[in-house]
Amino acid sequence: MKYSTLFLIAICFTIFSCKTDTKEQSTKASESNSKDLAAENSSKQKQLEIQPISHATMVLSYGSDDFYIDPTGGAEAFSSFSKPEYVIITDIHGDHLNIETLKGIDLSSTMVIAPKAVVDQLPSELNIGKLVTLNNGDSITDKGYAFEAIPMYNLREEALKFHTKGRGNGYVMSIGGERIYISGDTEDIPEMRNLENIDKAFVCMNLPWTMTVDKAAEAVIEFKPKTVYPYHYRGKDGMSDVDKFKTLVNQGDESIDVVQLNWYK
């Protein structure tokens, strides 16, 4: 009698404690699941998305903020995107600055960032929310983002006339903890080779206006971005050999991810 009572008590205790344990475990599991889910959702919402439009033109999206880089090709190319939070312009040439395209975009709540040579060409009818002139070496922060103007210019004697030092800007932008480099039209200048901690780099390579794939690869191997996107590679005599660029970069440093996007549709 005594033993069986004890036995029953022991069984009840075991069942009760098992249930409690199970409940605690499942609560913990669901808590950790919801934490994982929240982390996953926030990283999903806040992943930088890259949409190449053409040649030098792209849209970067981060959460609900769209960054239009050198918007050209007509406003309809941007109809699937929200009004830009930022428009970033590198230089005065038509493949980077296109007034007609800008006229078709609602810029009334947009910060437009450009070098002085570009700002001088923007008509007042554009109704820009906030126009910021950045020249080489200048920087600005806004809403947790940072924008730094990097020089862009030619080095080869025969190409000096294309991009005079000081006129146009490349940019390093800090978006969501990543540093994004947009080269603009440039050769393998020291200011590019000396860049540090770049997560994503957009690097031009076309002749006669910028540089060869060999020079672009040399510079990229030196500043070691985590990922490089060859862009702006249609030259006077057709497309530059971006496959060769990838091979050269990875021969020099196989840890650099070379990503080919569809810039010319």
Task: Provide the binding-site residues for Zn ion, judged by CB under 5 A.
Answer: 95, 185
Phi-psi domain of 44 (left: phi exceeds 0; alpha: psi -120 through 50; beta: other) = alpha
Minimum CB separation from Zn ion for residue 121, in Å?
15
Which one, 192 or 256, has the nearer CB to Zn ion?
Answer: 192
Distance CA 150, CA 199 (A): 16
Which one, 62 or 245, has the nearer CB to Zn ion?
Answer: 245
Minimum CB separation from Zn ion for residue 156, in Å?
16
Which one, 110 or 154, has the nearer CB to Zn ion?
Answer: 154
The amino acid sitting at 41 is N
Minimum CB separation from Zn ion for residue 101, in Å?
15
Which one, 90 or 136, has the nearer CB to Zn ion?
Answer: 90
Which one, 62 or 154, has the nearer CB to Zn ion?
Answer: 154
**Residue 93 structure tokens:** 């040439």
Inter-residue contact 220 to 255 (CB < 8 Å): no
Which helix (H) or strand (E) is 231 found in, with range?
strand 227-231
Which helix (H) or strand (E) is 215 found in, with range?
helix 213-223
Minimum CB separation from Zn ion for residue 168, in Å?
9
Which one, 96 or 246, has the nearer CB to Zn ion?
Answer: 96
Minimum CB separation from Zn ion for residue 93, in Å?
5
Classify residue 249 by burial, with Cβ atoms within 10 Å: 0-12, 13-18, 19+.
Answer: buried
Distance CA 5, CA 110 (A): 78
Minimum CB separation from Zn ion for residue 31, in Å?
53
Distance CA 217, CA 215 (A): 5
Inter-residue contact 225 to 199 (CB < 8 Å): yes
